[in-house]
Amino acid sequence: MLWFIPGLIVLIGGAELLVRGASKLALSFGISPLVVGLTVVAFGTSSPELAVSVQSAWSGQVDIALGNVVGSNIFNVLFILGISALIAPLVVHRQLIRQEVPIMIGVSLLLWALVADGGISRVDGLIFVGLLLAYTVLIIRQSRREVAAQGADAGAKEADDGQAWDAHWPVQVLLVLAGMGLLVLGSNWLVEAAVTLAGRLGISEVVVGLTIVAAGTSLPEVATSIMAAVRGERDIAVGNVVGSNIFNILAVLGISASIAPGDLLVPASLLAFDLPVMVVVAVACLPIFFTGHLIARWEGALFLAYYVAYTTYLILDAGGHGAPAGFSRVMLGFVLPLTAITLIVLAWRHWHRIGEDGS
């Protein structure tokens, strides 16, 4: 248990070094800042999830590996976007609405479909890794076309700043390697501490993964999105979350399932409640994002309220209370459908208003 906080600190430090070095390298190759945000920054801030889940899957703590991914995706949308929108309404880039959010929804539905048989096989993992490679190639090609159309390479100009201490590629490579090393060390400490904590508290490893580990490994996303919202770079705040969620499923679960000694068996509780919540949260992003192309403060408050309700359910369930069964029925059978209907109505009004303006 004593290694939990040091492990978390080392994880965050490793992620910071990895993001800094990798983003500089990407800019040196002429990749646009938007794509850097969707790939290098988003993937880099998700590297703690990758390190923890891979280590957990390899050592046999499958519940922590799965709970970490599902819990992080729920935390990213409901908590991070919620608190960022409360700081300032978040403007959403059109590319995120047209491409990245549908991809996030698609991979979430694909995950739900693949685990319907109770596990994630090595073949499933390789499918996810293949989709990740295809997605990365797609957005890099899009970035290069945009840069060529603009007739200027902004990324290369930024990378050519000789005054910065990390402007040279050997330093950038060292930063990436150092970050990866710290991530491996921190993940070992964090997983060992999480397993010990679950044993001492008498709660399941999947609940620890869904809450403590998920929130802890998502701290880089928290810091990145909140600082982006405070500084007015609101598109980064949203892109970081969406990109991280895509990476969590395709890379974190993909690599974990590919290297695990056997199939990643999905706990019944995760399949019955947490995975549906993750999918509903992903789907809810689309109408919220395109109604006005921003996340309003009231929508951020709604996200936060849902996260509080979700965490309350997990705490009650871990404590052995009788309330969780009724709570989950209310959430899945009433609250979430009601929210979905509200979002559909908002979307219809938005389209109707656009049609009237066009006529």
Q: What is the pLDDT of residues 252-279, one digit of tens each?
A: 999 999 988 888 888 888 888 889 889 9
Contacts of 338 (CB under 8 A, 6+ apart): none
Say if CB 119 and CB 271 are below 8 A apart: no
Say if CB 128 and CB 253 are below 8 A apart: yes
- What stretches in the chain show pLDDT beneath 50? 152-156, 158-160
How many domains in the chain?
1
The secondary structure of 190-233 as a DSSP string is HHHHHHHHHHHHT--HHHHIIIIIHHHHTHHHHHHHHHHHHTT-
Say if CB 205 and CB 56 are below 8 A apart: no
| 222: amino acid identity, one letter | V
> What is the β-pairing status of strands 119-120 and 264-265?
antiparallel
Q: What is the domain-level CATH number for residue 215? A: 1.20.1420.30
| 91: amino acid identity, one letter | V
What are the tokens at 36?
Answer: 């850097």
- The secondary element (H helix, E strand) that includes residue 53 is helix 47-59
What are the tokens at 158?
Answer: 């930024």
Rounded-to-integer distance, Cα 45 and Cα 240, Å? 8
Task: Write down the pLDDT at residue 245.
Answer: 92
Task: Write down the pLDDT at residue 324.
Answer: 58
Residue found under tokens 């290694």? 3
Task: Write down the pLDDT at residue 97.
Answer: 79
Rounded-to-integer distance, Cα 318 and Cα 321, Å? 8
CA-based torsion, 48, 54, 55, 57: positive or negative: positive
Helix, strand, coil in percent for the chain, rounding step 5: 85, 0, 15
Task: Give the C-alpha distances (Å, rounded to integers) separating 202 from 57, 66, 192, 249, 325.
Answer: 21, 19, 16, 28, 20
Rounded-to-integer distance, Cα 35 and Cα 138, Å? 10
What are the tokens at 76?
Answer: 């990213």
Rounded-to-integer distance, Cα 302 and Cα 340, Å? 12
- The secondary element (H helix, E strand) that includes residue 12 is helix 4-28
Q: What is the pTM of this model?
A: 0.76
Question: Residue 159, class by beta-carbon neighbours within 10 Å (0-12 exposed, 13-18 middle, 19+ buried)?
Answer: buried
Task: Write down the pLDDT at residue 74.
Answer: 92
Contacts of 79 (CB under 8 A, 6+ apart): 215, 218, 222, 303, 304, 307
Task: Write down the pLDDT at residue 129.
Answer: 94
Give 33's Cβ-side CA count (13 Å radius): 9
Task: Write down the pLDDT at residue 353.
Answer: 61
Task: Write down the pLDDT at residue 106.
Answer: 94
Task: Write down the pLDDT at residue 159.
Answer: 45
Instruction: Report the Cα 282 to chain-centroid distance in Å.
Output: 11
CB count in 10 Å sphere of residue 177: 13
Full domain range(s) for residue 69: 4-358
Rounded-to-integer distance, Cα 258 and Cα 264, Å? 10
How far is the first Cα of the chain from the last one, in angstroms, to the nearest whole number? 64
